[in-house]
Structure 1
Amino acid sequence: RTLLDHGTNSNKTKSNNNSNSYHRQWKQDLGRANVIVNVADGIVSHVTLLSDKGDTNKDNVPKSMGANNEKEEDEEEKKIDEELYEMLEILKRCKDEEGEDSVEEIQCRGNILSPGFIDIQLNGAFGVDFSNPNITQNDIIKNVSSRLPQHGVTSFCPTIISSSFDTYCKILPLIGPLCQCCEKEKDQGRNNDDNIIGANILGLHLEGPFFAISKKGAHSEEHIHDPTAATTTTTEDHQDHTAMKDTYGISMSSPKKNDGIVIVTLAPERPGAISLIKELSNQNVVVAMGHTDATLAEGIEGVTSGATLITHLFNAMNPFHHREPGMLGMLMLDDDDGSDGNDEIHNSVSTNKNENGPVTSDRNISKHRPYFSLIVDGIHSHPSAVKLAHRLHPNGCVLVTDAMSAMGLGDGTHTLGTMKVDIKGNRATVSGTNTLAGSVVSMDSCVKSYRKFTKCSVGEAIRAATLHPAKVLGIDNRKGRICAGYDADLTLLGVDELDVMGTWVGGKKEFDNISSAVCFGGSKKRKVEV
């Protein structure tokens, strides 16, 4: 039950009566809850919770699989029979309404039905580099979108690293039209175009080039500059528009909805960054802080101005220090009033680096801690660091892969933008250096590792890859949950190891390994043919 944000809707959504209409039902027994999920035209029409018996820990097997006495066993047997009858009645009504051939029932065999995973930072995969100006739409759809569902991913944000003006001008118009779900006002549900396969592209993540050179990581220094570097105007409000146009070749007032841009990562301490943060947030573009030399106070000013996310926490930023907490200190702000008792630090805005502490001012701070993304591959951050971040802000973690084109290809030399990257095992480094250059990890692996490193519940691990990224993007009204009216983006996970068994995008099956699913064990087993 904790794995689902379930909802009910007595007024079932009617699907169109045509050859393309279909219903699917996902049925699961979590040991404490029987759930049936109805899908019509790519949308969850309603979710029925048939029993509510407490926690879903797999160690707590249902009483019907080992009751303490015959009386309890009989009572549980009766309850199961009643629930099974209700399930069959729901299925029968669906078949009566839609026709026998248009209804498909999928048995989940006691495994975990999760919302589809959302990766908001993916530089490339399976040989495709999103920062390569020579890529094609076919490369993205056939080689990346179609293969991500095998890792449980149903939506993602192609991420472009710091690049030249010409490269942005080629890539943004190419990928922008593929971003079918980036507009909040867009109709819910999956486009029925048969040419669209695999995971949805939610929008572009522009990682750079407004960075601190000292924290450039694998980004090319020649492309890094400040938001004001390219502008020739002196009006602060106009600098934002000019910086976007002169850097990316787009106008923030463009009728093209910013060419599909949904996230921009920048360093908040750079000249012109604060005014750009305000402008981007006003345009509903998520601003993330990363590749930064910012102090805690400068990070607070970024959040106050509209930034809501920290990009790959711990990496490409200053480490925690007891006199200057840096970006990690943002995780210790309180959600209710923005104060943890140290108002002197929280009310500070630093304009100069000061080894003895921050420079203070009277600026108010945000009332909410930012979300933070984590690359949980066992390489970018030590398991103890991951556990620390989870303990500080358990509802703020957003799992990302930050994967590059070598994901899924194995060892060798590959590219990330204009850089050569060496892959050995699970480690990606800029050729000839020890500098990490993204990862080659998959999202399902991140979920498993996050659960292992933090000792969190399965539900918490899943939310870090589903609900939390949906909230960051402001699309948690249609993605990130299994609820009536939400997109039918679903991932079936093995109950023990969280292996991906099946993935559906908008109700359409994109990956199927259900035959390997393992049922709950126990002293009693029943097989029901429907």
Structure 2
Amino acid sequence: MSTWGGPVDVTLTGGRVVTPEGVLDRGWVAVRDGRITAVGRDSPPEGPTTDVGGGWVVPGFVDIHCHGGGGEAFTSADPERVRKAAAAHLQHGTTTMLASLVSRPVPELADQVSALAELVEDGVVAGIHLEGPFLSAARCGAHDPAILRPPERSAVDALLKAGRGTVRMVTVAPELEHSVDAIARLVDNGVLAAIGHTDATAAQIRPAVDAGASVATHLFNGMRPLHHREPGPIGALLDDDRVTVELICDLVHLHPTTVRLAARHAGADRTVLVTDAIAAAGAGDGVYDVGGLEVRVVDGVPTLAGGAALAGSTLTMDAAFRNAVVACGLDVVEAVRATATRPARLLGLADRTGELRAGLAADLVVLDADLRPQEVMSKGSWVKD
């Protein structure tokens, strides 16, 4: 799959266009030279037009937590395999994404980061997310507990050096030794510090957020459960206005009511939907390797072989969007903010993508009445198989 024919000059008409101000019925989006030049309703500007037949026109999705797709993982040293993984999600409307890596020994992880850095520089992915190895063994999920370690400065610096400025987010369990210092160091280097895979108490969360942690990695999953006398990381992170919360909206990791409650409490400025997808996304059931661990995918649900622990997802962002609206009760505008606007802002890309407004890249998705993708545009070019 690739973009087809290069950037087009066209005005998409006859759609329900979701803008930062709301929904424009009978709306249009003018695209020229790879960028959005104007957005409006009723009479479009002169020039070639394409009628989208009443479909929804939304910004291209932005996924800040994804490990792979199309049968390939971002851990591969082969750039073509990484491109295939990114392309699998592009087909489903994800026009911007971070490449997430799972826990490995620091030298091996540094090699993976170095290889991915070149693809960030080429624009295949927007940056790198390290989900480990600075995680709690008590809440390791699909991470090899033998590899997990505290975030000593030498380890953090080695990974940042390997990334050459392309590491955009690192997940840390704040109860580990050196964690608060590591979070502060990450933030000082322009990296998002996320809290996840943690058995911390609520009291242990506060110093991490005070140090600059601003993201909750897949809230609820891989965390000490919420308790009415010990809110733990879930309560502390959800209730802190400084923290953006990731939600895996595949209806497996989280019940629809849980998604709705979290999204309503956090609000549009703090809610991000993510896939946490592994290589199996778009590739079907089977046996996969995730960070050296065997994962079996049955009926689209990945679990560690021999157990019931979830090991990522097979979710794509269009399905997350659809689930949020149809099953969880968010409206389309809220879903757009959670799948595009807020994650783009979090990554510092609000001046490039995440909304349908003049001056931004022409990254957009045309959805039908059932919220299924009909067309995807990336930087003004149509995406085709």
TM > 0.5: yes
Q: Matched residues in 2 for 1:411 and 1:426: separation? A: 6
8 Å Cα contact 2:288-2:295 kept in structure 1:
yes
Q: Partners in 1 of 2:7 and 2:319 — Cα distance?
A: 34
Q: Does 1:122 align with 2:66?
A: yes
- Structure having the higher strand fraction is 2
* Matches of 1:117 and 1:392, distance apart in 2: 22
Select which of 293, 298, 307 maps to 1:424: 298
Give 1:107's aligned amino acid.
Answer: D
| Maintained 8 Å contact 1:111/1:492 | yes
Name the counterpart of 1:435: 309
- Provide Cα deviations, 1:377-436, integer angstroms capped at 9, x if missing partner: 121112221122122112222111111111122222111120110110021111111111
How many residue pairs get aligned? The number is 374
Shift, 1:331, TM fit = 5.1
1:27 is aligned with what amino acid? T
Kindly provide the CA deviation profile for residues 334-386 of structure 1, in whole angstroms up to 9, marking residues without a partner as x: 6xxxxxxxxxxxxxxxxxxxxxxxxxxxxxxxxx3311111111211122211
Per the TM alignment, residue 213 of structure 1 is displaced from its structure 2 partner at its CA by 0.8
The sequence identity of aligned pairs, in percent, is 32
Check the 8 A contact 2:15/2:28 in 1, yes or no.
no
- In 1, distance between residues paired with 2:276 and 2:111? 22
1:222 partnered with 2:113: no
Hey, what does 2:11 align to over in structure 1?
Answer: 25
Aligned-partner Cα distance in 1 for 2:238–2:156: 32
> 2:338 maps to which residue?
464
User: Does structure 2 retain, via aligned residues, the 8 Å contact 1:211–1:224?
Assistant: yes
Query: Which residue pairs with 1:46 in the alignment?
Result: 38
Q: The residue matched to 2:133 in structure 1 has which SS?
A: coil
For residue 278 of structure 1, what is the aligned residue in structure 2? 184
After the TM superposition, which residues 180-195 of structure 1 pair with which residues of structure 2 at under 5 Å, given as runs? Answer: 180=121
What are the ranges of 5 or more consecutive residues in structure 1 without an aligned counterpart? 1-18, 51-82, 93-103, 181-190, 229-239, 335-367, 513-530
Equivalent residue of 2:65, what SS? strand
Match of 2:130 among 206, 230, 250: 206
Which residue pairs with 1:452 in the alignment? 326
- What are the Cα deviations for residues 133-157 of structure 1, in whole angstroms up to 9, with x where unaligned? xx3101111x223232221111111
The whole-number CA distance in structure 2 between the counterparts of 1:378 and 1:313 is 14
Q: Is the contact between residue 26 and residue 54 of structure 2 (CA under 8 Å) also seen in structure 1?
A: no
The answer to whether the 8 A contact 1:131-1:163 is kept is no
Partner of 1:146: 87
User: Would you say 1:394 and 2:287 are equivalent positions?
Assistant: no
Secondary structure of the residue aligned to 2:249 is: coil
Counterpart pick for 2:29 among 37, 49, 63? 37
Q: Distance in 2 between matches of 1:106 and 1:376?
A: 32
Describe how 1:7-26 pairs up with structure 2 within 5 A.
22-26=8-12
Whole-angstrom distance in 2 between the partners of 1:497 and 1:201: 28
**Aligned match of 2:279:** 405
Partners of 2:114 and 2:378 lie apart in 1 by 25
1:220 alignment partner, SS class? coil
Q: Report runs of 4+ in structure 1 exceeding 4 Å deviation.
A: 19-22
Matched, 1:244 2:150: no
Matched residues in 1 for 2:15 and 2:282: separation? 33
Distance 2:91 2:238 in 1: 36
If the length of structure 2 is used for normalisation, what is the TM-score? 0.91
Q: What does residue 476 of structure 1 align with?
A: 350
1:185 is matched with which residue?
none
How has the CA–CA distance of structure 1 residues 227 and 45 changed in structure 2, closer, same or farther, with 3 Å as cutoff? same
Letter of the 2:82 counterpart: I
For the 8 Å contact 1:117–1:466, the answer to whether it is kept is yes
Name the counterpart of 1:502. Answer: 375
| Alpha carbons 2:31, 2:38 under 8 Å: kept | yes
Residue pair 1:467, 1:480 contacting (<8 A) in 2 also: yes
Which has the higher relative contact order, 1 or 2, with Cα contacts under 8 A spaced 6 or more apart? 2
Deviates more, 1:385-394 or 1:480-489: 385-394
Q: Secondary structure at the match of 2:263?
A: helix
Say if 1:397 and 1:468, in contact at 8 Å, map to a contact too: yes
2:217 & 2:265 partners in 1: Cα distance? 16
| Rounded Cα–Cα distance in structure 1 between residues aligned with 2:88 and 2:14 | 25
